[in-house]
Amino acid sequence: MQKTIFITGASSGLGKATAKLFQSKGWYTIASMRNPENETELTKLENLTVLKLDVTDKAQMEDTIKKVTQEYSVDIVVNNAGYGLIGALEALNDEQITRQINTNLMGVIRVTKAFTPHFREKKSGMFINITSMFGLMGYPTCSVYSATKFALDGFSESLAYELAHLGIAVKTIAPGGIQTDFAGRSMDGSLHDAYKNLVEKVSEGYNAESISRFATADQIASIIFEAAIDNKDQLRYIAGNDANTLYNERLQLGAEAQYRNLKKMFTF
Ligand SMILES: NC(=O)c1ccc[n+]([C@@H]2O[C@H](COP(=O)([O-])OP(=O)(O)OC[C@H]3O[C@@H](n4cnc5c(N)ncnc54)[C@H](OP(=O)(O)O)[C@@H]3O)[C@@H](O)[C@H]2O)c1
């Protein structure tokens, strides 16, 4: 029987690559996005519906998910919508911080809560939440972004226990760098004079050469597909070479030793 996937933030990057991959594998794909009127690529594909969904709009989200679960039997929900808020904490205003938390964390919590009764009634279903390597380890200028992604990791682990007896699975994908609009169009941030040297140091790791080594959205989408079909009882999928290097280092050295090493790089 044809399976159905629902994806948030499918207008670009990882969300769009995931929509295209699942559609190409024969899944019925519901690609949700804030501005479906601008979408020209996904709308041409068969077995794919483009829907309007801003994950920070609670009323729209509840209404959309109600309609989706009345019309379709959804098997997988990919909570992908999110963006980076980058900068020293002091440089960020309350509106920026709130929007980041509302999108990356509250958006996932609300979408998950709205789909849970549907999965409970089916006695099956899977949530795949896109976290980040910076949801498993901290990094300077990423404090609020990391706060949302660490929270998502804990949310997912707790929920995986809570939903297991109902036949519902929860998995996370923790990518390192991906070549998407994340570091361009989607990024929010502010500068502060007191952190000029620190920001310059952090930026060195994001030069053109480093970015060219990031995973492609298609590579990370393949890991999402694998997580969806591998029947493994696995919670976290560390995605990309950079993320695996950092995560393995954390496991081998221990979190405290890795923390001390990284801290030396950013102490002037
Ligand atoms: N790229 C990386 O290096 C990287 C690394 C680790 C994790 N991630 C995570 O991967 C996910 C996808 O990011 P990406 O790399 O594919 O970046 P991207 O190309 O910028 O895509 C982000 C998507 O999220 C959507 N979005 C933002 N706010 C939204 C909202 N309120 N409601 C619905 N959709 C919203 C954007 O929609 P619009 O088109 O409307 O703006 C866009 O479709 C994010 O959760 C991100 O944190 C990315």
Residue type, 149: K
Residue 174 alpha carbon to ligand 1 centre in Å: 13
Tell me what the mean pLDDT of segment 82-108 comes to: 98
pLDDT at position 10? 98
- Give the pLDDT confidence of 243-267 residue by residue, as tens digits: 999 999 999 999 999 999 999 999 9
pLDDT at position 79? 99
Does position 172 have pLDDT exceeding 90, yes or no?
yes
Does position 205 have pLDDT exceeding 90, yes or no?
no
pLDDT at position 111? 98
Tell me what the mean pLDDT of segment 140-164 comes to: 98
Residue 243 alpha carbon to ligand 1 centre in Å: 18
Catalytic residue annotation? 145
Binding-site residues, ligand 1, Cβ < 6 A: 8-9, 11-15, 33-35, 53-56, 80-83, 103, 130, 132, 175, 177-178, 180-182, 186
- Token duo for residue 195: 């952190």
Q: Write down the domain spans for the chain.
A: 4-265
Taking the CA of residue 15 as reference, the ligand 1 atom at the shortest distance is 16
Taking the C-alpha atoms of residue 117 and residue 120, their distance in angstroms, rounded to an integer, is 5
Instruction: Give me the chain's average pLDDT, please.
Output: 97
Taking the C-alpha atoms of residue 13 and residue 191, their distance in angstroms, rounded to an integer, is 26
Does position 268 have pLDDT exceeding 90, yes or no?
no
Reported confidence tier of residue 105, pLDDT bands at 50, 70, 90? very high
Q: Contact 182/83 with Cβ under 8 angstroms?
A: yes
Please give the CATH superfamily to which domain 4-265 belongs.
Answer: NAD(P)-binding Rossmann-like Domain (3.40.50.720)
Residue nearest to atom 37 of ligand 1 (CA): 9
Tell me what the mean pLDDT of segment 204-215 comes to: 91
